[in-house]
Amino acid sequence: MAAVVIFVRQKKTFKFLNERGEWTGSFEEARTFGSTWEAIDTCMKQEVRQAEVVMRMGAPRYDVMLDVA
């Protein structure tokens, strides 16, 4: 079973949240989180809107997304 990688993605641009709290087009620069709760908490604290927490388990076709208001 593949490891789960958790990250935050902007829904309209498909950019990823990086360590500096900025959006990047590079998946390699995306901040990864230890849990979905950590990702959601970060979104709430940084007032991130129109984004989704993504849990990637191998290939992108298996991604599970949670909306962040």
| pLDDT tens string 20-68 | 999 999 999 999 999 999 999 999 999 999 999 999 998 889 999 999 9
Residue 53 and residue 8 in contact, taking contact as beta carbons nearer than 8 Å:
yes
Count of domains forming the chain: 1
pTM of the model: 0.91
Domain that holds residue 30: 4-68
Q: Which helix (H) or strand (E) holds 44?
A: helix 36-45
Task: List the end-to-end C-alpha distance of the chain, in Å, as a whole number.
Answer: 31
Judged against a pLDDT cut of 90, whether residue 1 lies above it is answered with no
